[in-house]
Structure 1
Amino acid sequence: MIAIDGPTASGKGTVASRVAGQLGWHLLDSGALYRLTALACLEQGIAADDVGRAAAAAQALDVRFGDGTVAMSGRDVSADIRREDVGSLASQVATLAPVRAALLERQRAFRAAPGLVADGRDMGTVVFPDADLKIFLVASAEARAQRRYKQLIEKGFSANLLTLLRDLEARDARDTQRALAPLAAAHDALVLDSSHLTIDETVAQVMAWWHERWHQRAASRGA
């Protein structure tokens, strides 16, 4: 299995999806689960500091992942969970221990043959500490803000580059400084800076590392 962690808008979701596609493996977008929880909270009027109700919302999620789509309670919410207000609240509810506990086993249940590529912020440190390959994907805040701006504009959403940059920096601070499962590279993770790489180049590097790791393991088994 491959775990890919990194900050908001580092491209880990797209990279994980393409790597999973090339390998023919299952895919876990763990961030989507937190965004779904945030969306449920927004729709139910649950405040970010209402720990009990937020955890209950996470526990009760009726989620279905399809071919590039995400459904909640039978409704396609693929676009809704990518809204900036949802992403901002997701970063806040992700600091709540009961919410993380509610989603932990749900994430681990995605691990199945022939393999899994999981992306998030604590895949290699907490959820799948025994992953065969751990990647920590980073990019400068400026590069990530530019990417997010382009994505939003292409999807027809209004966006302000400076506002996005400030929001990313605030999320980075929350994610790295939270007491529970902070965003950090696992001690055995390979760090990949994609600031000046295309998605294709980033995917190629991850695949190269995976094939190298696979051959190393095969050689050790045959020794």
Structure 2
Amino acid sequence: MDNKILTEEAKETEKEAGKEVENGVSASDEAIKAVEAMKAAASAQQAEEDAVYIEPGMAWRKTLKSLEEEIEKELGKANAVVADVIAKEKAKCKDAVAKEFAEKEADMSKVHEEETKKLTAEKEEAEKKLEEQHAQELKELTEKYEAELKDSKEAHEAELEKMKNLYDEQLAEVQESFREKTAGFRKEIDHYKEQIEVLMLHIDDPFVLQEIQMKQSQQPQEKETE
């Protein structure tokens, strides 16, 4: 009678041990699935941050380069405009003086030679004064335009430098945040790897499996507390 009872108890013990092993294998599968989920979440997070920060950053760099090229083009156009204005104004001045004194010479053709000489001297003096006045005006106009152009260029360069510094700061912050998040993901992945290794080493020990399952059930509570 006692042997029969012992036999029944042995069978029950074998059944319970089998259940514990099955539970251990199931827990190992769950841990592996959790690791795969963490990897997928990390990849998704990285893709999202690339779309939000890295790609706009590259667009900013292209915009900065485009602005620099545009400034160089505008400088070239401005220099061409100044040269064209100077040439046209000189031509107008000479044409106006020549026309004015040609008319006077025609009217005074019958006047005495001394009067003609006097008019010629006045003409030369007037041309000289007009040229000097025009040259001074063109000089002042050129200096003013160059100063405004220089100020505009410096303002653009300062704005470009400001935008570049802001972008570099934002990029540094994003990179630091990404490194911190990556470190967190790696830490969790290493933690799950350790659990899997322990499970594989003690897959036949129901007491160790029970202890690991208790720790796993406590971990979500600890994370919620944090």
- TM-score, normalisation: structure 2: 0.21
| Higher Cα Rg, which structure | 2
Higher relative contact order (CA closer than 8 Å, sequence separation 6+): 2
The structure in which a higher percent of residues are strand is: 1
By percentage of residues, which structure has more helix?
A: 2
